[in-house]
Amino acid sequence: MSTIEINDVAKTFGDVTAVAPLDLKVGDGEFLTLLGPSGCGKTTLMRMIAGITLPDRGSIKIAGRDVAALPPERRNVGLVFQSYALFPHMTVGANVGFGLKMRRVSKAETTERVRAALALVDLEPLAARFPRELSGGQQQRVALARAIVIEPDVLLLDEPLSNLDAKLREHLREDLRVLQQRLRVTAIYVTHDQAEAMALADRIIVMRAGKVVEEGAPVALYRAPRTRFAAEFLGQTNVIEITTSGTLPWGDAVRAPAGAVVSIRPEDVILRPDEQGAGRVLGLSFQGATVEYRVDLGGTEVRARDTGTGAPILPEGTTVAVRLNAEPHRLSDAPVRRLVSVP
Amino acid sequence: MTIAAETAPDPRREPFQPSDGRWITLGLGAALLIALGLPLVVALLWSFMDPATGWFAPDILPPSYAMDHWQWAAGNDSIVKALGLSLFIGVCVTVLTGILALPTAYALAKLPFRMKRAVELFVLAPLIVPGIIVAIGIGTIFFRLDLVFTIPGVILVQTVGTLPFMVRVLAATIEAIPNDLINAARTLGAGPLMVARHLLIPLAWPGFIAGGLLTFVASFEEFEKTFIIGSPFVQTLPVILWTYLGGRVMIFPTAAVVTFILLAPMLVIFFLAERVLRDDVMASGMGKL
Amino acid sequence: MIRRLPHGLVATLLVLPAGGYLALFFGLPLVLALLGSFGIYTRGDDGGFTLRHYADLFGTQAYRDGLMFSSYLAIVPTVVSLAISLPLAVALGQTFPGRRLFNALYKVPLVVPGIVAAFIVMTLFDRGGMAARVLAPFGLDLPKLVRDDWAIGVVIATAWKAVPFMTLIIGGSLGSIPKDVLSAARTLGAGPWAVFLRIKLPLALPGITAAFLLTFIGGMGSFAVPNLLGPVYPLPLSVHMYVNAFERNNWGLVAAMGTVLSLISVAVLLLYYRATRSLRSAYGGEHR
C-alpha cells in the first residue's frame, strides 16, 4: 500500500512561509495534483516528500514508513523534474538504469527492466543515444522511464511538461495518465496549469501562498468551487456580487441574499440576439472552437462563451437576451483553513 | 516527533546532517590557520626583529622588537621606487590588456567565423608555454629593439601573459549576454558603437572587473618575465624581494618587510574584489581549455 | 544607411588587436626559438641547420637531469595539490557555518607572489625555521625540507599557491552542475559517495583537467621557487636556460631547452584533448 500521510508539515525560508502547516493523505494508486500559481508552495511540498528539502516540523509517512530520518536515496520515490535532469554524460540506457544500479540489481535484470521501461515510453531504439541528441519530449520521456523503472512507492512529477510546446504537452499528458493507471503507482503532480490538472487528476489540491485553499475531484472543483480563488483559478468565471437580495444586477432571479458572491461560468451564459434584450455585446474574441463575448448586462460586464461551428458570431453592439444554463453557484467567504483531506 | 531543521536558509544547497557542518568548519578553520595565519604571523614577527638581539633558534618568539627594519624600508629609496613602479606597471598592463582583449573577446563570444577554434587556442597558447621561455624568447627580440631594461619592455612582456586570462574572462562574460538584447538594440536603431557603449560595456562589467583585478594582481606579483627583461634596471617589488632572498646572505627581516609592502595592496585589492567578484565569472574564464 | 563590411573582415579586424599582439610578441619569439634551436638565426651561430644544440642538451648529464627534475616539479606538486583541492572543492560546496568567510580567505595565496611563498617556506621549514623550533621541545626532528634532494620545500611552496587556484576552478566546475541533476541522482538511490563518483566527478572533469594542466605547465617552467628552495643539484632546466642565456650567451642551447620544455607542455595538452574528447562530445563539452 503506497499511501502518503503528511501531518502538520511546514517550511519557512528565512521569513518567507513557503508552506504553512498542513495535513494531507494520498491514497494508494491515486493521482493527486498540486495546483497553484508560482510561489504557492507546491514544489516545496513535493520536495519535502522527496526528501530534498527538510520540513521544519511535522511528519511524513510513505507506504507506512516514517521517512523523516531517511535521506532521498532511501525513500524509494521517483522524481521527474521540469528540467528533466538527465545525466548528460550517460546514455539513455545508463540514465534509466542508474536507479537499478544504485539498488545493486543484477546486470541481466537491469537490462531487461530498462528495456521494458523504455518500451513503455516508446523509446526503445534510442537507448544508446545521449540526452543531448534527443528532443525535449524525448528527454522528458526518458526522465519518466528513469523514475518508474525503480518501481517507486510514489511518483513525484514537478511540472514535467511545462518546457514542451502545447501540442506535445497534450500528447504526453494523455500518455502519462495511461501509464500511471497501468502501473497503478501513486502519483503527485505539481503544476500551475489548471487545464492540465483537471485532465489528469483524481483529486486536485489548490494552493496559494503556502496554504491549501481547496481540494476536490476535478468535476466537483470546477462546477462547485467553494472559494473565489478556486473558482477564478480553474477555468474562467464571472464573479458577481449580489447587492439586492435575490436579484442579479440585470434583474434575473437568483437564490442568494444580499452580500453574497456567486460564480457563473461563461459557458453557462447563453446569448440570443433580441431587440428587447437586456444585454449589449461589448466585444468578442474568436478562438476557433469557442467564441468569447464580453457583454454589458445592467452595468455589469459578463463573459459568455459559445461553442460549435453553428454558433453565430454576434458583432459588437448587438443587443442580446441572456439566459443562464445553470444555477449561479454561491462562493463562500470562509477564510482559508487547514484541511484534513481524505480521499 | 521533531525533525532537524536545515541550518541554512538556502533551499538549493543539498541538505545533509547539520551536525557535519561543524566538523568541516573546525577542520577547514584549523587548516586555514596553519596554512595562512601562521606563516603571515611568523613573517610579521621577522619584520619586527630587533637587529640588536637577532632571532635565533630555539626562540619561538623574537627576544625583543624594534621598528628598525620598517623605518629603514620607509626611507629606502629603491624600495619606495619599486612600490611605485610596481603600481604604475600594474595599471599600464591592465589598461593595455583590457583594450587589446575586448574586441577579440567580443569576436570570440558573438561572431561565428571559420578560424574561431584556432584563434581560441592561439590566445590560450601563452599559458601552455612556460613563462620563462616566453620571456627569454621575447628577450632576444627586445634586445634588437632596444626594449630590454626598459619599463615599456616590461609592460609589453607582462601583457603577453595576462592577455589569455583577460580574453577568456571577457569572452565568457560577453557570451552570457543574450543575443536577443543586442538584436533588440539594433532594431531600435543602435549602431555597433552604441551597442558597445550602452549594452556591452555595462553588461560585461563584472567581466571587466574580474579580468582587470586578475590582470593587475598578476602584473604586480609577476617575477620571471620582469626579471629577465627588466633587471637590473627595472626593479619591481618582486625583483627587489628576490635580491634580498637570493643573494649570498638571506636577510629575513628586510625580506619580511618587503613582503608586507608587496602584500598590502594585494590584500586590499583582494578584499575589495571579494565583495565585487563572483566566483563563477572567474572560474568560467579559466575552467575550460 | 549603414555600410556593412564583409563578415570575415569584421571578425579579422576584431581579432587583430590581441591576436596580432600575441603573434608578434609570442608567436614570433617561439618561432625564432624553434629556428634558433636548430642553429638558424641565432646570435653566436654562423652555420646553417645544425643539431648540435640538441646533442649538447641531451648529451650533458646535468641538462638531462635538469629535464627530469623539471618534469618532477611539474608532476609532483600538481598531484599533491589535486589531492588537496578536490576534497576542498567538494567541502566548499556544502553548507557549514563560516562558509562565506572561508570562501574568501582560502583564495589569499592567489595574490601572493611565488617568491613570497618561497620566503614563507624558508622561514618555517628551513633548518632552524619556525617548525623546527616548535617541534624541538618535543624532541622531534624535522627532515631537511629546503635544499633537499626531493625538493619538498619546493613542492610545499608550489602546492601552497596551486591549491587555491585549483580549488577555485574545480569548485566552479562542480558548482555549474545543475542542482536538479544531483537531486535526481539522490532520489534514484545514490548516496553522497555514489553521487560524487558517478555524477560530480565526471561532470566536473573539464575543470579538473584544466586546473591540472595549468598547474602542470606552471611547474614545468618554474624558476624562482626552485632556485630559492631547491637542491643544488639537479637544477631545473629553466635555471640552466637562464644561466646559458645571460652568463654564457649560448643562445642556441637556450633555444633548444626552451623548445623541449614547450614541446613537452604541448604534448601534455594534446593528451588532455585526446583523453577528454570522448567526454566533451558526449555532453557537448559544456553543461548548463
* Per-residue pLDDT at A212 exceeds 50: yes
Residues of C in contact with A53 (CB under 8 A): none
Residue C197, min C-alpha distance to chain A (Å)? 12
Q: Is the peptide bond before B178 cis (omega within 30 degrees of 0)?
A: no
Q: Using CB atoms, pick whichever of C28, C115, C220 lies closest to residue B141.
A: C28
Which residues from A are below 8 Å from C283, CB to CB?
88-89, 130-132
**Mean local confidence (pLDDT), C37-60:** 78
Average pLDDT, chain C: 85
pLDDT in tens, A304-315: 998 888 878 889
Query: b or e along A137-158 (b: 16 or more beta carbons within 10 Å of the residue's beta carbon)?
Result: bbbbbbbbbbbbbbebbbbbbb
Q: pLDDT below 50 — which residues of chain B?
A: 1-16
Chain A CA closest to residue C179: A85
Q: How many angstroms separate the CA of residue B75 from the nearest CA in chain C?
A: 22
Closest C-alpha among B283, B261, B56, A53 to residue C210? B283
Contacts of B2 in chain A (CB under 8 A): 57
**Residues in a beta bridge with A305:** A292
C-alpha cell at position A198 = 483537471
**pLDDT, greater one: A90 or C280:** A90
Query: From the list B3, B14, B16, which residue is nearest A55 (CB)?
Result: B3
Contact A89 C282 (CB under 8 A): yes
| Cβ–Cβ contact C1 with B under 8 A | no
pTM of the shown model: 0.81
Please, is A298 exposed, middle or buried when counting C-beta atoms within 10 Å of its C-beta (0-12, 13-18, 19+)?
middle
Task: List the single best residue of B1, B2, B3, B17 to mutate versus A (max A Cβ within 10 A).
Answer: B3
What percent of chain A is modeled with pLDDT above 90?
A: 51
Residue window 199-228, chain C: list those with CB within 8 Å of chain B: 206-207, 209-211, 213-214, 217-218, 220-224, 227-228
Contacts with B4 from chain A: Cβ below 8 Å: 54
Cα separation values, B145 from B163, C24, C105, Å = 22, 13, 43
Residue C10 lies in a domain: no
CA pair distance A22, A29, nearest whole angstrom: 22
Neighbours of chain C (3+ CB pairs under 8 A): A, B
Mean pLDDT of the C123-147 span? 79
- The two beta strands, A211-216 and A203-208, are antiparallel
- Which letter, b or e, does each residue of A305-336 get, where b requires 16 or more Cβ atoms within 10 Å of its Cβ? bbeeeeeeebeeebebebeeeeebbbbeeeee
Over pLDDT 70: what percentage of chain A? 97
| Cross-chain Cβ contact B279/C175 below 8 Å | yes
Give me the residues of C, 246-275, that contact B with CB < 8 A.
251, 254, 258, 261-262, 265-266, 269, 272
CATH of the domain at C65: 1.10.3720.10
Architecture in CATH for domain A4-229: 3-Layer(aba) Sandwich (3.40)
A2 in B contact zone (CB under 8 Å): no
**Does B193 contact C at CB distance below 8 Å?**
no
**Reported confidence tier of residue C33, pLDDT bands at 50, 70, 90:** confident
Contacts of C195 (CB under 8 A, 6+ apart): C182, C185, C186
Instruction: Please count the residue pairs, one from chain A and one from chain C, whose beta carbons lie less than 8 angstroms apart.
Output: 76
Task: Give the architecture (CATH level 2) of B71-286.
Answer: Orthogonal Bundle (1.10)
Query: Of B58, A80, A34, which is closest to residue C136 (Cα–Cα)?
Result: B58
| C210, C177 contact by CB (below 8 A) | no
Q: How far apart are CA A291 and CA A308, in angstroms?
A: 9
Nearest to A85 among C181, C194, C203 (CB): C181
Residue A320, beta-bridge partner list = A273, A279
Distance CA A211, CA A249 (A): 33
Nearest CA in chain B to A55: B5
- Domain positions in chain A are 4-229, 236-316
Dist CA B244 CA B255 (whole Å): 6
CB contact under 8 A, C33 and B250: no
Q: Tens digits of per-residue pLDDT, A35-82?
A: 999 888 999 999 999 988 889 999 999 988 888 888 888 888 999 998
Q: Would you say C89 and C170 are in contact if contact means Cβ atoms under 8 Å apart?
A: yes
Minimum-distance CB partner of A73 among C180, C191, C203: C191
Residue C19 lies in a domain: no
Bond prior to B58 in cis (omega within 30° of 0): yes
A102:C187 CB<8 A: no
The Cα A154–Cα C211 span in angstroms is: 42
Residues in B closer than 8 angstroms to A47, CB to CB, are: 11
Angstrom CA distances, A17 to A44, A163, A212, B157, stand at 11, 27, 13, 57
Nearest chain B alpha carbon to A17:
B9
Instruction: Name every residue whose Cβ is closer than 8 Å to that of residue B270 and which is 6 or more positions away in sequence.
Output: B217, C107, C108, C110, C111
| CB-CB under 8 Å, A132 with C186 | no
Closest Cα in chain B, distance from residue A44 (Å): 9
C120–B contact, CB cutoff 8 A: yes
**Among B237-241, C80-84, C94-98, the least confident range:** C94-98
**pLDDT for A86:** 92
Domain region containing C277: 28-282
Task: Please check the confidence at residue A218 and state whether its pLDDT lies above 90.
Answer: yes
**Cell representation of residue C258:** 626552451
Residues of B with CB under 8 A from a CB of A: 1-6, 9, 11, 14-16
Domain ranges of chain B: 19-66, 71-286
Partner residue opposite A85 with nearest CB, options C183, C189, C279: C183
Q: Is pLDDT above 80 for A195?
A: yes
Interface list for C 45-84 with B (CB within 8 A): none
Chain-chain contact of C96 with B24 (C-beta, under 8 angstroms):
yes
Alpha helices for C93-236 (secondary structure H): 99-105, 114-125, 130-135, 152-175, 179-187, 192-195, 201-220, 224-229
Closest by CA position to B210, among listed B127, B111, B105: B105
Structurally, chain C folds into a number of domains equal to 1
Is residue C201 predicted with pLDDT exceeding 80? yes
The SS3 of residue A20 is strand
Spatial neighbors of C220 by CB under 8 A, at least 6 apart, are B130, C70, C71, C73, C74, C261, C264, C265
* Beta carbons of C29 and B271 less than 8 Å apart: no
Mean pLDDT of A294-298: 89
Q: Report the C-alpha gap between C46 and A15 in whole angstroms.
A: 80
| Cβ atoms within 10 Å of B33's Cβ, excluding its own | 11
Q: Degrees (nearest 5) of the Cα angle B28, B30, B32?
A: 65
What is the ipTM for the molecules in this complex? 0.81
Query: Are B39 and C120 within 8 A, CB to CB?
Result: yes
> For residue B286, what pLDDT is reported?
60
Tell me whether B43 touches chain C (CB under 8 Å): yes
Predicted pLDDT of residue C181: 94
Given a cut of 90, whether residue C79 has pLDDT beyond it is yes
Taking phi first (over 0 means left), then psi (-120 to 50 degrees means alpha), and beta for anything else, what does residue A216 get? left
